A and B are shown apart, each in its own frame.
Chain A
Amino acid sequence: MNSHNVFERRQSPSWGWFWQAFTGLGLVVLLALHMIAHHFVAEGGIRDYAGVAEYLRNPVIVLLEVLFLVTVTAHALLGVRAVLFDFGLSQRTERRISRALAVIGILTVGYGIWLTWTITQAI
């Protein structure tokens, strides 16, 4: 079996691997916070609308939620990229996939920010 050491790899996806590991470690902390805040301390295991509105009044919380969204989206799409790159595609196709996934990532984060903004404006 080949070496698992990322720095000994010669293929181009190694930066993707590094960022996936980095965002993965970040998710350990961010997902723990998300679970505690939204489910473990929330009455009935999930916040109702009033509970969500109350929670999002804190700007630090809004920032943390957006950071969580960016991190989880990057991690998820880098994972999809790794699965697709296993198909042994041409460099051109790989570049197209990377670009398409970047667009999907930006749209995803944009949607999340729009939704958060909409809720904070409604309260």
Chain B
Amino acid sequence: MPPHPLSRIRRAAQWGDVRSRGLGMIAYTLNRVTGLGLVVYLYLHLIVLSLLAGGPSSWDAFVQIARSPAFLVLDVILIAGWLIHGLNGLRVTLTGFGIGLRSQKVMFVVLMAVAVVALAAMAVMVFSA
């Protein structure tokens, strides 16, 4: 007998519930949230790039907006997303191949610390460009 639809949805959405879960589940959820956010960004980015087909006037008007401080804040959020997703993804890949299974938690904490430091450095670069 197939599972009840609601229980199926609950099971599929389990990764979104981080209450009283371990660090591993938080890492998994973080990867999915950032991943889905990055998919949305990818398509927004591709749509915006269509302005290039309109020639210099349409693209350069967007460039002016992209250089505004409010837009740069969005850039920093985006960088945070791919730093977290990319560094956490490296851990997932390593452990998927059976490397560092016992040091997953340490790896996660160290990689997220790297993400924070890299984000701070890149935020400075973004606002001083």
Residues of A within 8 A of B46 (CB): 108, 111-112
B93 touches A21 (CB 8 A): yes
Inter-chain contact B59/A48, CB cutoff 8 Å: yes
CA distance A46 to B45 in the complex (A): 13
With A6-B97, A17-B96 in contact, do A44 and B129 touch (Cβ < 8 Å)?
yes
Q: Interface size for chain A: under 10, 10 to 19, 20 to 34, or 35 or more residues? A: 35 or more
Q: Would you call the interface of chain B mostly helix, strand, loop, or mixed? A: helix
Are B63's CB and A48's CB within 8 A? Answer: yes
Contact with A along B84-96 (1 / 0, CB 8 A): 0010011011011
Q: Are A39's CB and B129's CB within 8 A?
A: yes
B39 in contact with A80 (CB, 8 Å):
yes
A46 and B63 contacting across the interface, CB-CB below 8 Å: yes
A44 partner residues in chain B, CB cutoff 8 A? 63, 67, 129
Q: How far is the CA of A64 from the CA of B2 in the complex (A)?
A: 46
Asked if A49 and B86 make an inter-chain contact with CB atoms under 8 angstroms apart, the answer reads no
Asked if A48 contacts B86 (CB within 8 A), the reply is no
Residue of B nearest to A42 (CB): B129
Nearest chain B CB to A81 CB, angstrom units: 11
- Assuming the contacts A45-B126, A76-B38, asked whether A24 and B55 have C-beta atoms less than 8 A apart, the reply is no
User: Which A residues lie at the B interface, using CB under 8 A?
Assistant: 1, 4-7, 17, 21, 24-25, 27-28, 31, 39-40, 44-50, 52, 72-73, 76-77, 79-80, 83, 86-88, 108, 111-112, 115, 118-119, 122
21 sampled A-B residue pairs with Cβ under 8 A: A5-B97, A5-B101, A17-B96, A21-B92, A31-B82, A39-B129, A44-B67, A45-B67, A45-B126, A46-B67, A50-B56, A52-B59, A76-B35, A76-B38, A76-B39, A77-B39, A86-B11, A86-B15, A87-B9, A87-B11, A115-B49
Which residues of B pack against A, CB within 8 Å?
3, 8-9, 11-12, 15, 24, 32, 35-36, 38-39, 42-43, 46, 49-50, 52-53, 55-56, 59-60, 63, 66-67, 72, 75, 82, 86, 89-90, 92-93, 95-98, 101, 125-126, 129
